[in-house]
Amino acid sequence: MFLDARQHFDGDLNVLVNCAGIGGPAAPVEDLSYEDWRRCIAVNLDATFLCTRAAAASMKSTGAGSIINISSTAGLYGYPLRSAYASAKWGVIGFTKSMAMELGPSGVRVNAICPGSVSGARMDSVIANEANAKGIAAEQIRERYRKTCSLRTFIEASDIADMAVFLASAAAQRVTGQAISVDGHVENPGSLDE
C-alpha cells in the first residue's frame, strides 16, 4: 500500500491518517469472546501500529511529516459494555504519545483525534447494538448520547476531517503528542448508563 502511494504521488509520504476502525462487540465482559476482543484490538490498534511502522522510515528520512491517529472519546473516559473498543482506543492514545516522543527528534509530528459520537450509519449500528445489549429502545440510547454532549448534537464527519487538515498543515507545526477531542464537549460520559 505504501509503495503504491509513493509511486502514485511521485514522492515522499508527508501525511498519514490512521482511520481504520470497528465498533467491536457490545456486551458485558463475561459475555465477550476472545475472538471478538482480538478482532477489535487488531483493527483499531494493530492497524495503527502497522501503518505507522510502514510510514515512519520515509517520514524520518525527509525530516518532516504528520501522523494523525483516530482514537475516540471512549479512549479518554472508558465505555461500559464496549471494553474492547475503549481499550483499543486508549491504546491508540498511548501509542500516539509514544510515537510523538520517538519520531519528534526527526521532525515527525504525531497526534490523535478523539471524535465523539459521529452521525451516520456506523453510529446507527452502535446505537442499535447497545440498545439490544441493554434491552431498551434505540431512540433512548440516541438521546442519552445527545445528553452527554454540551452542544447536544452528534458530530459530523466533516468536523473530524477539518481537524485532520489542520493537524496536517503548517499551522499545527508545533502540535504533537496531543489527544484532541472533537466531540462538542462530552461533559458526562457516565450519563449513558442513567
Q: Which one of the listed residues 34, 77, 79, 85 is annotated catalytic?
A: 85
Nearest to 191 by CA among 87, 27, 80, 85: 80
pTM of the model: 0.89
pLDDT at site 48: 98
Task: Calculate the CA 117 to chain-centre distance.
Answer: 11
pLDDT at site 189: 62
What span, in angstroms and rounded, lies between the C-alpha atoms of 69 and 49? Answer: 10
Under DSSP, the state recorded for 52 is: H
pLDDT at site 59: 94
Per-residue pLDDT tens listing for the chain (194 residues): 878 877 787 778 899 999 989 989 988 999 999 999 999 999 999 999 999 999 999 899 999 999 999 999 999 998 888 999 999 999 999 999 999 999 999 999 999 999 998 999 988 988 998 898 889 999 999 998 888 889 999 999 999 999 999 999 999 999 999 999 999 998 766 555 55
pLDDT at site 40: 97
85 flagged as catalytic:
yes
pLDDT at site 188: 60
What span, in angstroms and rounded, lies between the C-alpha atoms of 194 and 182? Answer: 23
Q: Which domains does the chain have, with CATH numbers?
A: 2-193 (3.40.50.720)
Which residue's entry shows cell 515522499? 12
